[in-house]
């Protein structure tokens, strides 16, 4: 146990936790915007898989990370258009539509991978860690917090930006309005469909970034790479009470607990016999924290309700 | 377009129908379902016709190729044709630098039985599923495949579907499919089900079981890893403590400890979570391990960590050289064709199940494949044959 509390181990644990938290955070921040506008998207995992494959495949062929970044973001955006048409234009039931998107993403990314790649092939270029000048050289703290890949920095930079957009801009006010009372917003001249559509586009693009962070960060793709990560991201939105700061805390909690459990296993502190119980720890702790700590902030009143003037 | 691709496209269309169900009226949904069903039937028919035409073409080509091969053999006499291997044969070999597989392609099928495989991960996963697909293909059989069945219920539907289609042998390649087979196998007494990894047939007369003694190869690799490790510390990334993964871990630990090294084992709790496997491997390297190993399809992440840190890697299930051509020292490769040959013979003889088969170093179902690109000290490599002999004759215990 004493080994665990050395500074180098703690630094490794925090650094790994931040890496693990990154895709959760990107996806959950995007979902926060969507849910604030009243749109539930259970298809996040499917969008992540498609973007993860798309960016991986482009980088595999071109060895250019910028092209991969573009591909991942565009795929997320396009899936946003699809989901927007389904849920906003056709006013479909959002829960079932999201599951359909997830199944489509899961199956189609698998199909594309098998037809276009086949055997898992490591990328020759991947997202590398970049030390932030000045901060990256701070002993221990720099190693833990300021030496990550650019998408990790982007994810955490988006936390205050999303807060700013949601609470300090007209667009953010409209998003919250159509999520709480779309009829009232409509009567005041706000385009409910338009605002929701844009929120969906932003959310899906961020889900695309999350998938890209996974495949380009790992430098490889294989079928079902996300392993249900997108569903946990949706849960983290509830955990974070639809606020970006809360979502960040949830993502970090999940990532750092997962990282801590790995360290405990690696050092034999969690015996092999209890290994499976240890693997459940992040999910269990998150649920417990959700029950114990969750503030009584209610979900957007019109969440998952299609809007129709009729 | 292969039947598999057609079926996957139908799956994707089905997902879209699912979405349509959320959008429209019942009639519209019914229409959409009918359209997809019709399109699926047409596509499968078309794929069937294409497959028949392809079969005819393959027959023609095969006949021509056989003729050409016979002529070539006459010209070359008994010349060695296994040039992918430096010292091929038996339960230990070295794969030439740049080569990745030791599965020779059979010129003709060993059986006329029709075979289908249902497996949990991708057919090219460089691990569990690929080992079976490679083995069946090596026997000259072109199996029907349903892979990436992450959900057991999906696998059960595929197993039942193949049985209903009259496939002779359905290979249910996953321990988790046992419960489904218990229900399905009695309904199809004329079909032989081959299930693994499993050490018993659940009392079913038309189920064969197979299991690898993965501890044996694990032990051998553990001794090599221990001799190679300067730190005397090896990191192991396992999935779930069960089945052949646990056997491999136990055997590897016993082998490494017999040579004085310690092994830190981390079970991630998942077969496919690449991110967790990556972080587990990183934690091992941070903790001072200078050798890494692991099992299951999630090790692609762990191998990338080995590659990035220039740490040698030991693999199991399939040859994993392609993931790190310079750092994979050796892999324990499952050659299921050894037991499948016996199983197919039994089926042709009228026995559809009731027996358990095991891959071992002795029957050469387990093969230790060294990577020709990795320069391993000859002294270390020279002792491997002795270790294998000890495991085979029982003078060395793998801890099981």
Looking at residue A294, its pLDDT comes to 62
Chain-chain contact of A122 with B9 (C-beta, under 8 angstroms): no
How many domains does the structure of chain B reveal? 2
Q: What are phi and psi of B109, to 5 degrees?
A: -60, 145
Chain-chain contact of A96 with B21 (C-beta, under 8 angstroms): yes
Looking at residue B283, its pLDDT comes to 94
Provide CB contacts within 8 A for A71, sequence distance 6+.
A51, A54, A55, A57, A58
What ipTM was predicted for this assembly? Answer: 0.88
Find the mean pLDDT for residues A223-227.
92
Q: Is B30 on the interface with A (CB under 8 A)?
A: no
Q: Which of B266, B270, B322 sits opposite A119 (nearest CB)?
A: B322
Chain-chain contact of B264 with A268 (C-beta, under 8 angstroms): yes
DSSP conformation class of B208: E
Which residues of chain B fall below pLDDT 50?
A: 1, 25-30, 32-33, 36, 39-40, 43-44, 47, 50-51, 54, 58, 61-62, 65-89
Give the domain extent around A126.
22-230
Q: Residue B197: is the preceding peptide bond cis (ω within 30°)?
A: yes
Looking at residue B7, its pLDDT comes to 53
pLDDT digits (tens, 9 = 90+) for A83-115: 999 999 999 999 999 999 999 999 999 999 989
How many domains does the structure of chain A reveal? 1
Q: Is A258 on the interface with B (CB under 8 A)?
A: yes
pLDDT digits (tens, 9 = 90+) for B195-252: 988 889 999 999 999 999 999 999 999 999 999 999 999 999 999 888 889 999 999 9
Where is the domain boundary, B55, B79, B103? B79
Where is the domain boundary, B64, B79, B94? B79
Q: Residues 253-282, chain B: which have Cβ within 8 Å of A?
A: 264-270, 272-276, 278-280, 282
**For residues A55 and A211, what is the distance between their CA atoms, to the nearest angstrom?**
9
Q: Mind telling me how many Å the CA of A148 is from chain B's nearest CA?
A: 14
Where is the domain boundary, B79, B109, B140? B79
**For residues A248 and B275, what is the distance between their CA atoms, to the nearest angstrom?**
19
Provide the CB-side half-sphere exposure for A104 (13 A, CA): 22
Q: Is B137 on the interface with A (CB under 8 A)?
A: no
- Chain B residues whose beta carbon lies within 8 Å of the beta carbon of residue A113: 122
Q: Which of B22, B125, B303 sits opposite A93 (nearest CB)?
A: B22
Looking at residue B127, its pLDDT comes to 80
Residue A251 has pLDDT above 90, yes or no: yes
Identify the bridge partners of residue A130 per DSSP, sorted by sequence position: A148
Closest CA to B237 of B196, B199, B287, B175: B287
**Nearest chain A residue (CA) to B150:** A224
| Residue A56 is assigned to a structural domain of this protein | yes
Evaluate whether A207 touches A48 at the Cβ level (below 8 Å): yes
Looking at residue B255, its pLDDT comes to 97
**Nearest chain B residue (CA) to A113:** B122
Q: Mind telling me how many Å the CA of A296 is from chain B's nearest CA?
A: 31
**For residues A31 and A35, what is the distance between their CA atoms, to the nearest angstrom?**
6
| Residue A111 is assigned to a structural domain of this protein | yes
Evaluate whether B384 touches B87 at the Cβ level (below 8 Å): no
| Residue B376 is assigned to a structural domain of this protein | yes
| Residue B354 is assigned to a structural domain of this protein | no
| Residue B172 is assigned to a structural domain of this protein | no
Count residue pairs from A and B with Cβ separation < 8 A: 159
Closest CA to B134 of B150, B149, B122, B152: B122
| Residue A47 is assigned to a structural domain of this protein | yes
Residue with tokens 């205050």: A160
First to last CA, chain B: 47
| Residue A33 is assigned to a structural domain of this protein | yes
Q: Is A119 on the interface with B (CB under 8 A)?
A: yes
Give the domain extent around B386.
214-335+364-393
**For residues B12 and A103, what is the distance between their CA atoms, to the nearest angstrom?**
7
Residue A3 has pLDDT above 70, yes or no: no
Q: Is A103 on the interface with B (CB under 8 A)?
A: yes
Mutation site, B10, B23, B271, B303, interface A, largest A CB count within 10 A:
B23
CATH of the domain at B252: 3.40.50.2300
Q: Which of B150, B280, B304 sits opposite A220 (nearest CB)?
A: B304
Confidence of residue A1 (pLDDT cuts 50, 70, 90): low
Closest CA to A40 of A83, A73, A90: A83
Provide CB contacts within 8 A for B21, sequence distance 6+.
A96, A100, B29
Confidence of residue A295 (pLDDT cuts 50, 70, 90): low
Q: Which of A12, A223, A272 sits opposite B121 (nearest CB)?
A: A223
DSSP string, A171-205: HHHHHHHHHH-HHHHHHTT--HHHHHHHHHHHHHH
pLDDT digits (tens, 9 = 90+) for A13-71: 999 999 999 999 999 999 999 999 999 999 999 999 999 999 999 999 999 999 999 99
**For residues A227 and A231, what is the distance between their CA atoms, to the nearest angstrom?**
9
Looking at residue B76, its pLDDT comes to 42
Provide the CB-side half-sphere exposure for A109 (13 A, CA): 31
Q: Residues 152-211, chain A: which have Cβ within 8 Å of B?
A: none
| Residue A241 is assigned to a structural domain of this protein | no
| Residue B55 is assigned to a structural domain of this protein | yes
As a whole number of Å, the CA-based R_g of chain A is 20
Find the mean pLDDT for residues A128-148.
92
DSSP conformation class of A86: I
- Chain B residues whose beta carbon lies within 8 Å of the beta carbon of residue A104: 12, 15-16, 19
Q: What are phi and psi of B225, to 5 degrees?
A: -60, -40
Q: Where does chain B show beta strands of DSSP type E?
A: 92-95, 115-118, 144-146, 169-173, 192-196, 207-212, 233-238, 262-267, 291-294, 313-317, 328-334, 356-359, 366-371
């Amino acid at each position: 146990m004493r080994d665990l509390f050395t500074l180098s181990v703690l630094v490794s644990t925090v650094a790994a936790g931040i890496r693990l938290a990154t895709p959760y955070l990107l996806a959950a921040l995007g979902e926060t915007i969507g849910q604030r506008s009243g749109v539930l998207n259970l298809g996040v995992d499917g969008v992540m898989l498609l973007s993860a494959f798309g960016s991986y495949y482009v980088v595999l062929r071109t060895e250019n990370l910028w092209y991969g970044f573009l591909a991942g973001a565009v795929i997320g955006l396009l899936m946003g258009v699809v989901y927007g048409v389904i849920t906003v234009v056709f006013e479909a039931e959002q829960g079932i539509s999201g599951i359909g998107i997830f199944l489509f993403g899961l199956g189609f990314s698998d199909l594309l991978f098998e037809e276009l790649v086949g055997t898992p092939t490591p990328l020759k270029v991947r997202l590398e860690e970049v030390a932030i000048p000045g901060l990256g050289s701070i002993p221990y703290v720099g190693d833990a917090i300021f030496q990550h890949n650019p998408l990790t920095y982007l994810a955490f930079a988006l936390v205050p930006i999303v807060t700013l957009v949601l609470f300090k801009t007209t667009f953010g006010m409209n998003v919250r309005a159509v999520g709480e009372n779309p009829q009232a917003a409509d009567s005041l001249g706000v385009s409910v469909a338009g605002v929701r559509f844009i929120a969906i586009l932003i959310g899906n693009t961020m889900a695309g970034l999350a998938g890209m962070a996974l495949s380009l960060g790992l430098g490889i793709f294989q079928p079902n790479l996300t392993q249900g990560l997108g569903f946990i991201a949706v849960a983290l939105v509830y955990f974070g009470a639809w606020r970006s700061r809360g979502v960040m805390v949830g993502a970090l909690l999940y990532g750092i607990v997962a990282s801590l459990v790995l360290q405990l296993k690696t050092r034999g502190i969690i015996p092999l016999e209890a290994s499976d119980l240890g693997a459940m720890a992040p999910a269990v702790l998150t649920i417990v924290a959700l029950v114990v700590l969750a503030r009584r902030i209610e979900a957007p009143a019109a969440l998952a309700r299609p809007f129709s003037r009729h | 377009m292969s039947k598999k691709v057609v079926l996957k496209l139908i799956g994707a269309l089905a997902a879209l129908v699912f979405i349509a169900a959320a959008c429209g009226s019942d009639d519209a949904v019914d229409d959409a379902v009918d359209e997809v069903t019709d399109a699926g039937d047409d596509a499968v028919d078309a794929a069937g016709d294409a497959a028949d035409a392809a079969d005819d073409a393959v027959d023609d080509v095969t006949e021509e190729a056989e003729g050409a091969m016979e002529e070539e053999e006459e010209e070359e006499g008994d010349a060695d044709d296994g040039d992918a291997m430096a010292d091929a044969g038996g339960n230990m070999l070295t794969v030439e630098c740049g080569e990745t597989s030791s599965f020779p392609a059979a010129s003709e099928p060993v059986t006329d039985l029709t075979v289908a495989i249902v497996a949990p991960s991708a057919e090219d996963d460089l691990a569990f599923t690929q080992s079976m697909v490679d083995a069946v293909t090596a026997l000259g059989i072109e199996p029907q495949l349903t892979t990436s069945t992450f959900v057991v219920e999906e696998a059960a539907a595929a197993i039942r579907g193949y049985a209903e289609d009259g496939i002779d042998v359905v290979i249910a390649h996953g321990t988790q499919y046992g419960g489904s087979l218990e229900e399905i196998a009695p309904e199809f007494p004329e079909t032989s089900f081959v299930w693994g990894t499993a050490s018993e047939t659940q009392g079913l007369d038309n189920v064969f079981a197979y299991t690898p003694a993965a501890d044996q190869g694990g032990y051998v690799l553990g001794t090599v890893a221990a001799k190679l490790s300067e730190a005397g510390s090896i990191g192991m990334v396992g999935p779930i403590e069960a089945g052949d993964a646990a056997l491999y871990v136990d055997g590897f630990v016993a082998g490494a400890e017999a040579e004085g090294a310690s092994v830190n084992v981390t079970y991630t709790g998942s077969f496919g979570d690449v991110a967790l496997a990556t972080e587990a491997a990183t934690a091992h390297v941070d903790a001072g391990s200078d050798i890494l190993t692991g099992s299951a399809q999630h090790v692609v992440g762990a191998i990338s960590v080995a590659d990035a840190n220039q740490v040698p890697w030991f693999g199991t299930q399939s040859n994993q050289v392609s993931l790190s051509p310079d750092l994979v020292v050796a892999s324990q490769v499952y050659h299921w064709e050894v037991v499948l040959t016996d199983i197919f013979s039994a089926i042709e003889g009228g026995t559809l199940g009731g027996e358990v088969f095991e891959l071992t170093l002795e029957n050469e179902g387990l093969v230790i494949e060294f990577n020709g690109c990795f320069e391993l000290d000859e002294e270390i490599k020279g002792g491997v044959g002795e270790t294998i002999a000890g495991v085979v004759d029982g003078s060395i215990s793998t801890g099981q």
